[in-house]
Amino acid sequence: MTCDHRCVPRGQSVTEHEGPIQPGAISAAAEASFANCDAERLRILMQSLVRHLHAFVRDVELTEAEWRAGIDVLVATGQITDGQRDEFILWSDALGLSMLVDALAHPLPTGATESTVLGPFWADRSPLRDYGEPIFDSAAGEPTWVQGHVRDLDGRPIGGAELDVWQNDATLLYGVQDPEAPEAHLRGRFRTRKDGSYAFLGVRPVPYPIPDDGPVGAMLGATGRHPWRPAHLHMIVSALGYETLTTHFFDAESAYLESDAVFAVKPSLLRRFVRRRADDPERPPSVTGDWWSVENDIVLAFNAAES
């Protein structure tokens, strides 16, 4: 058999070949067309992609109209994607693919804090802030004191670890989404103290919808799904000698924990937000009224390559 997509047996011309080409032969030829690829990993990826894609088409008996609609969705996805929005990643998120890739890429030992996806709203060069400093000048919502410790798997504190944090507020927006917000609104970097402790003042996060005015939103609406994510804060935690951790932690009382639009909720990442009063003796200096607090401890896995 040659790699010709028509699957003509070797030594026989197209006109000599009798009978219709069978679907299985088309699939076999498409897979075989990559057999001479010198890059082994690329060959494995492309041949597996063809096998699974063709198997999907046969499994659902895809119609020509459905095939055309799928092509139109890809075109629309490319058209809406720009420097501020990547609809292709949104597809990956909404189909659970992003979380699957993350889980496969970051197998962690028991006891280490679990990872999640980065998400689209991280921004480089967040300012380095002092212990307990707010991550906003002013923000919509209820002030929240976020504190915890960063430790290793043996329970030892990790001093000097960096936490890059970002979140939304009651406007449903992250700082990078709000054109009226200051440059570093609702984000910052913090270093742990010698005892591994960190703290900052944020706001209690709120649920928010992923962008649903494009092809992904149309898919969600057509299939009876919603676009909402439960309330959470993001962190990237890094320290020399340890695996860098990208994660969220979620408000344990938030809506949508059972149906996160991007499948990122993990039970180990749920945290309880505690209501505190204005006269509480532990009230942060910059808070004047009622506030919330939340404990979020982090456990990092060792990185053997850096040890």
Task: Note whether 56 and 124 are same-domain residues.
Answer: no
Task: Note whether 14 and 162 are same-domain residues.
Answer: no
User: Tens-of-pLDDT digits for all 307 residues of the chain?
Assistant: 444 444 555 555 555 556 788 999 999 999 999 999 999 999 999 999 999 999 999 999 999 999 999 999 999 999 999 988 899 999 999 999 999 999 999 999 999 999 999 998 999 999 999 999 999 998 999 999 999 999 999 999 999 999 999 999 999 999 998 988 898 999 999 999 999 999 999 999 999 999 999 999 999 999 999 999 999 999 999 999 999 999 999 999 999 999 999 999 999 999 999 999 999 999 999 899 999 999 999 999 999 776 5
Task: Give me the CATH number covering residue 273.
Answer: 2.60.130.10
Task: Note whether 42 and 162 are same-domain residues.
Answer: no
The last residue of one of the domains, among 25, 45, 62, is 62
Task: Note whether 160 and 234 are same-domain residues.
Answer: yes
pTM attached to this predicted model: 0.89
Q: Please count the structural domains in the chain.
A: 2
The last residue of one of the domains, among 62, 80, 102, is 62
Task: Note whether 184 and 292 are same-domain residues.
Answer: yes
Task: Note whether 174 and 286 are same-domain residues.
Answer: yes
Residue 160 resides in a domain: yes
Task: Note whether 180 and 294 are same-domain residues.
Answer: yes
Task: Note whether 262 and 127 are same-domain residues.
Answer: yes
Strand partners, 85: 82
Residue 5 resides in a domain: yes
195 in Cβ contact with 201 (< 8 Å): no
Residue 96 resides in a domain: no
Residue 92 resides in a domain: no
Which pLDDT value is given to residue 6? 46
Secondary structure of 179-216 in HEC code, one letter for each residue: CCCCCCCCEEEEECCCCCEEEEEEECCCCEECCCCCHH
Residue 11 resides in a domain: yes
Residue 244 resides in a domain: yes
What domain range includes position 257?
110-209+227-306
Task: Note whether 26 and 169 are same-domain residues.
Answer: no
Which pLDDT value is given to residue 155? 98
Which pLDDT value is given to residue 10? 54
